[in-house]
Every structure is written in structure tokens, then in C-alpha cells.
A and B are shown apart, each in its own frame.
Chain A
């Protein structure tokens, strides 16, 4: 998968629709990831589903999506019209369900499938698949069976050893790692004596997440070696943030909350990366990483 620039719209940002994926392309993204879809439609949680306290963003949307049957049509149109690689994000409650969704979404011919394994595993009392290498590998193996398309795996920072989880994914047939998903968090309103997110707990994103994502990408790069592509995602808001993510070991950089924190996020981040590279004498992106 070749990108005109290393900036990728992250999953969960701006929807499931072809129109919004095409918009990301028009705004300068190098690739765009759809919001995760499941076998059946889901309504998600009641509001509030997303909050921004300035620096710390937090969400618990509840994986609302129209279901793979409808999402397929949106992805197919985006692949045809966006002019950039489209990554279709999927999730399931079990490896078998992941496989079914992967098989179905493959008919839309996305450039890559991203398995969001930071969701609860129904067989393990709701523990995330990405918590352990074994559970992560079980999903990747099932998706590998179900599709011939390249697979990326989106990891949660909440694993005892995220490097080991990434390595297990690679050994089970993953072609790419997307790291990271949000980090568990909570907001409480003292006067209301309630958690603010309707789901009580959610995931932190935005600038607050950057140190966590840098640490995770660094550990994953050490664990998987130099060849495996990594889409480093989490708190990247500026071109310098993106460069730091590449230094940590990422091959490309995911952009999420930044699309609302600044205007023209994709185009401007790309420009800022270029001017940093020119100033600092870097001739290519591949020369930036700390670990060769």
C-alpha cells in the first residue's frame, strides 16, 4: 500500500460514510480509515459519548455503526472515488465474528482491513482481545483465513506487554500494526455526582495521549523488527508530533482528534513535516526512526 503522504485518518473519526472518507482525501489525508463496523447494526451508547476538556478528549461512543451489509456499500464507493487508500475497520465479539465481518467487507475491496481488537471478547468475560498475545493472535488468525487483503491490527495501550501482543499478531499473519487505541479514563461531575460519559468509563484521546502512544510505538518497533509497517496513532496534532511518532518507530501517522483541534489538519501537518525535514536535512522519512 503506497501513500502520497504518511498521514492517515484514524478509525472512529468522522464516521462510516463514503462522503466523509472522500472529504478526508480532499483535505489532504494520505489514507483514510472508516469507523469500525460489526456484523449487525449497533446504536451505541446514549450521550454524552464524547467530551473535550481541552487537551484531554474522552469518548465512549459504543461502536455505533450501520452494520457490515450497509458499510460495504460506503466502503466500495470510497474506494472508487476517494483516490487514496481506504482502510476498512472491523470488530467482532469473537474471532469467528471477526472472520465473518472481514469476509463480507472484503467484497468492497478496501486497500487494507484493520481489525479493532481493543474491543471486549465475549469468550473471556469482556476482556479486550488485545490484552494478551494469545487472544490477539486468535483474531488475527481468523481474519487471515477469511481474507486475502492486507490486515492491520489496532492495539490497545492496555496490555502488560504491547510488544509481545504485536509480535504475536505479526506471527499470525498481520501485515501492519495500528497503535494505539484510546487509553481508559473517566470524567466525574461532582455537582451531578455522576460520571459524565453515559457509559461511565471511556477512552482518552487527544494531546494527552501522545506520550502513551510514543511509548507503545517504540516498544512495538523493538519487538517486531524493522520491516513491519506501523501506523502510529494517538495525540498527534502537529507536524512535529508526527515526526516524533516516526522517530518512535512508526511508518505512517494516524490523525484523530486533531481534525477538530485545528483547521486543515491533514494538509498543514504534512506541510509542517516537510519543512521540519528540510530544515533538519532529512532526505527521506525512512531515515528518521531512532531504532534502525
Chain B
């Protein structure tokens, strides 16, 4: 663990209507090789600091969906600008099986793209489902067969990512489902995996403060997203808060 290190923005790609993908060159190399599913705390000095999943490592990349004050400010940065980061933190995905299915919703697809690249290196066969509400919110494909779905049918299969994943399971067998996106979608993906006797790994998101397992703010039941996760397996289905509650900025329990 360390203090934040400065990083120069070397690339800015507007991936869709709300997502900007940045590539960075940190002044100090991360103390270990980031794994898919791990995250960094990105700091805009004097403003705020938030967790972002790694979207790629050569070069180090993050996909930022503009949805609040921090992500909007981050999205406005240009090539050559600096940001600060610390990490990688948390438990990432662990790749296993011969054939895997990736199910991503919205910009939750970003860490799965990194995972697809790692799977390819390891000779694991992957198929990805990339879903969004409409064509303008879809992410770019992964380096494997990618099936697109949109709720409004503006691109790819009309319907949600889970329906498409269900369709794939009818045709073939997958050892593991890896998923990232809205929690209700991940819950459905986990149940689908369980029904088909596949394993499942998902990336949980909670309001995060310290990022290193001390403050307890990002709890989901008795699990800490920053420390025990963000990658969790099928056991998360038994967690009383999963799919139901998160904690607001004060730590109050509120429905998802």
C-alpha cells in the first residue's frame, strides 16, 4: 500500500454517450500487477477520490461513466492532464474453467474486457454478452465473440443481457459466469449460473471511503467490498444485503 502517485493521461477515448476511457502513465509503477476486477482509487486533488475498476493494463486504463460530480469532472480531463492514483486494491477475478461466459451491463463491461484479454492469453475460450439500455450506451466489444443487447432494440438483440445469456446456456455449456453491472442484473446472472451448475464471480459496488478495509463503510452484510471483494462468488447470494441494500454517505442502510 502506498500514497497516491501522479499519472499522466496518455489517451482519451469517448467510448459512448457517457463513457470515457482513459489510458494513464503513472510516475511510479504499481507495486504489483493489477488483476482484472481489482480497483484503484483515482484522486483529483482538492476535490474527491473514488474507486475505479481496472479496464486494461498495457497501458493502464480506466472506463469512466459520467454520472456524478466526480465522474463528470474526471470525464472532462484531456490528454496530458494529470490525475493521482493508489492501488491496485481488493480481490479480483480468478480465471478458471475451459469455457467462460462474460455478462456485462453498461460500463460494468469494462473490467470484463480486461478479463477477456487475460482469458485469451491463457487459452480459455470466452463469449461475452454486452448489454445496455440503448445503442448509444453500449461499450466496445471484448477481444472474444461479443453479443450485444439493448433494452430498446436499437442495436443487437432486443432485451436484456440476462435473456441473451440464458439463450447461450441453452446452446452450450459454460464453466464460469463472470459478471459486472447493475446489482439486480448480477444477481440474475448468478442465479442463472447456479441453475446451470456453473460457477459465478461478480464485482460488487458500494459507497467507498478508505478503500483499504479499515473504515467499514463499503460493507455488504459482514463483507467489505474493498477488502474481501470487490470480486465475490456464488456465496454472496446468501448475503442479507446483496441485491437489496447499500449504505449511503452517512452509513445509513437504504434500499438499492
Contacts and interface: CB of A to CB of B under 8 A. Distances in A.
A51 B4 CA distance: 9
Interface in B164-219: 209-217, 219
A61 interface: yes
A236 to B, nearest CB: 15
A47 interface: yes
Given A14-B224, A187-B3, A194 B250 contact: no
Given A15-B215, A196-B4, A50 B250 contact: no
Interface residues of B, number: 38
Interface string A55-82: 0010101001111001000000000000
B3 A64 contact: no
Given A59-B210, A64-B249, A70-B253, A189 B4 contact: yes
Contacts of B224: 14, 20
Chain B interface mostly: loop
B253 to A, nearest CB: 7
B216 A16 contact: yes
A257 B227 CA distance: 13
A59 B219 contact: no
Contacts of A15: 215-217, 219, 251
A31 to B, nearest CB: 17
B212 A50 contact: yes
A103 to B, nearest CB: 21
A155 to B, nearest CB: 21
Interface stretch (A36-44, A219-227, A275-283): A36-44
A50 B210 contact: yes
A48 interface: yes
A208 interface: no
Contacts of A17: 216, 219, 222, 247, 251, 253
Nearest to A49: B209
Contacts of B50: 47
Given A49-B215, A191-B82, 10 more contacts: A13-B214, A14-B214, A16-B251, A19-B240, A41-B252, A42-B250, A48-B43, A50-B214, A189-B3, A260-B212
28 contacts: A13-B216, A14-B214, A14-B224, A16-B216, A17-B216, A17-B219, A17-B251, A17-B253, A19-B222, A20-B219, A23-B222, A35-B251, A44-B250, A46-B48, A49-B215, A50-B211, A59-B214, A65-B250, A66-B250, A67-B250, A67-B252, A70-B252, A189-B6, A191-B6, A196-B43, A198-B49, A256-B214, A260-B212
Interface of A: 12-17, 19-20, 22-23, 35, 41-44, 46-54, 57, 59, 61, 64-67, 70, 187, 189, 191-194, 196, 198, 256-257, 259-260
Top-8 shortest CB links A-B: A15-B216, A14-B216, A47-B49, A50-B210, A41-B250, A192-B45, A19-B222, A52-B1
